């Protein structure tokens, strides 16, 4: 919300239309027309589909592409620190890892509240919706036998719900002549690297650079092609690592766990290719992912 408010403030209200749902797009040689649910329409030289995993514009660009279930579901919640007396240290970002599941949490609200995501591996997801209500006890049962702080955390929420975690296979293309995809619309990823919003912002920086270099509004295709070329390899790598992180977090007890834990000392250097990336640079980021976010068991 703060980011949206900052963007709205920068625009000064000019051209900002909220509460208007896009239901269709028609592309012509001279421009693009968007149709809205209220019957209104708007035209533009180029349309940026930053409309998320359930993108209305993605079928126009890439065809009927469906999200793929990652084999994991997530339980989310906000818990007051005072409700978790067993939590060793509420301040830093922490991971708790174990066979078939993991939990991450971090402090917000000046350290008074903990935001958590508890992830559990399940064999399938049959609900057409990607979120469903459930009993709070479902998450508590999933982490039975874990540290008391974990049980306190997942059991302290008022309403139970779980989200099926999906991502997208790499798309065949990200743009047409005048419509281009960014963020989750182009490369939905599971949240195990915390990179969904970050990669979207990087997309926006690169796309803005490419459009600024465009020679004319009637020939935007080279700019959109350059944007896709600069972003594709990096986002595919981050997508892969995000999914792979859950596999490593969920290892069963055995020698592989010891090898994974031995990488802890290299955590920051292993992930530097993600976190030190300069989106303005002309070359894409590292194409192979060597690191993984680790947690405390």
Q: 154-166: per-residue pLDDT in tens?
A: 999 888 999 999 9
Show Cβ contacts of residue 232 under 8 Å, excluding neighbours closer than 6 positions.
Answer: 170, 174, 284
Query: What pLDDT does 287 receive?
Result: 40
Structure confidence at residue 281 as a pLDDT band (50, 70, 90): confident
Phi/psi of residue 41, nearest 5 degrees:
-145, 165
With a CB cutoff of 8 Å and minimum separation 6, the contacts of 69 are 124, 125, 164, 165, 166
Task: Write down the pLDDT at residue 283.
Answer: 57
- pLDDT > 60? residue 196: yes
Q: What is the pLDDT of residue 292?
A: 36
Determine the Cα–Cα distance for residues 75 and 86; give it in Å rounded to an integer: 20
Tell me the backbone φ, ψ of residue 35, rounded to 5 degrees: -105, 140
Mean per-residue pLDDT over the chain, rounded: 89
Cα-trace Rg, the chain = 21
Question: Greater confidence, 269 or 107?
Answer: 107
Averaged over 279-287, what is the pLDDT?
A: 64
State whether residue 68 is helix, strand or coil. Answer: strand
Rounded to whole angstroms, the Cα distance separating 27 from 33 reads 6
User: Range(s) for CATH 3.50.50.60 in the chain?
Assistant: 46-55+170-275
Furthest-apart CA atoms within the chain: distance in Å: 63
Measured CA to CA in angstroms, residue 221 lies from 31, 225, 226 at distances of 12, 6, 9
- pLDDT number for residue 63: 95
Q: Has residue 216 got a pLDDT over 90?
A: no
Question: Would you tell me which CATH number, out of the four given (3.40.50.1970, 1.20.1250.20, 3.40.50.300, 3.30.9.30), belongs to the domain 68-167?
Answer: 3.30.9.30
How confident is the model over 229-249, as a mean pLDDT?
Answer: 94
Q: Which of 75, 106, 227, 268 is catalytic?
A: 106
106 classed as catalytic: yes
- Print burial letters for 191-204: b (CB count within 10 Å at least 16), e (below 16): bbbbbbeebbebbe
Q: Is 103 helix (H, G, I), strand (E, B) or coil?
A: strand
- Render pLDDT for 242-265 as a digit per residue (tens, 0 to 9): 999 999 999 998 889 888 888 777
Q: What is the pLDDT of residue 10?
A: 85
Outline which parts of the chain fall under CATH 3.30.9.30: 68-167
**Cα–Cα distance measured from residue 20 to residue 24, given in angstroms and rounded to the nearest whole number:** 12
Asked if residue 290 has pLDDT above 50, the reply is no
Which residues have C-beta within 8 Å of that of residue 25, sequence separation ≥ 6? 32, 33, 34, 35, 47, 56, 57, 60, 179
Q: Quick one: pLDDT at residue 1?
A: 67
pLDDT for residue 171 is more than 90: yes
SS3 156: coil
Superfamily of domain 46-55+170-275: FAD/NAD(P)-binding domain (3.50.50.60)
pLDDT digits (tens, 9 = 90+) for 82-138: 999 999 888 888 999 999 999 999 999 999 999 999 999 999 998 888 999 999 999
């Amino acid at each position: 919300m703060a980011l949206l408010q900052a963007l709205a403030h920068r625009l000064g209200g000019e051209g900002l239309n909220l509460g208007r749902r896009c239901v269709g797009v028609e592309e012509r040689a001279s421009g693009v027309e968007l149709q809205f649910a209220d019957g209104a329409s708007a035209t533009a030289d180029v349309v940026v589909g930053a409309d998320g995993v359930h993108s209305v514009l993605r079928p126009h660009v890439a065809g009927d592409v469906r999200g793929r279930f990652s084999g994991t579901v997530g339980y989310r919640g906000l818990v007051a620190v005072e409700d978790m007396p067993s939590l060793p240290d509420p301040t830093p970002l922490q991971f708790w890892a174990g066979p078939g599941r993991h939990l991450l949490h971090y402090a917000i609200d000046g350290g008074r509240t903990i935001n958590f995501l508890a992830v559990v591996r399940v064999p399938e997801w049959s609900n057409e919706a990607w979120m469903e209500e459930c009993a709070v006890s479902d998450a508590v049962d999933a982490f039975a036998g874990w540290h008391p702080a974990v049980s306190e955390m997942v059991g302290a929420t008022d309403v139970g719900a779980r989200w099926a975690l999906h991502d997208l296979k790499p798309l065949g293309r990200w743009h047409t002549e005048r419509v281009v995809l960014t963020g989750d619309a182009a490369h939905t990823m599971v949240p195990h690297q915390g990179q969904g919003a970050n990669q979207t912002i990087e997309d926006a920086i690169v796309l803005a650079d490419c459009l600024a270099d465009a020679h004319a509004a009637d020939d935007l295709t080279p700019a959109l092609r350059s944007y896709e070329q600069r972003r594709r390899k990096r986002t595919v790598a981050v997508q892969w690592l995000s999914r792979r992180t859950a596999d490593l977090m969920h290892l069963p007890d055995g020698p592989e766990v010891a090898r994974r834990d031995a990488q802890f000392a290299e955590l920051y250097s292993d992930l530097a290719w993600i976190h030190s990336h300069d989106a303005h640079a002309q070359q894409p980021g590292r194409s192979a992912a060597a690191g993984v976010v680790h947690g405390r068991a």
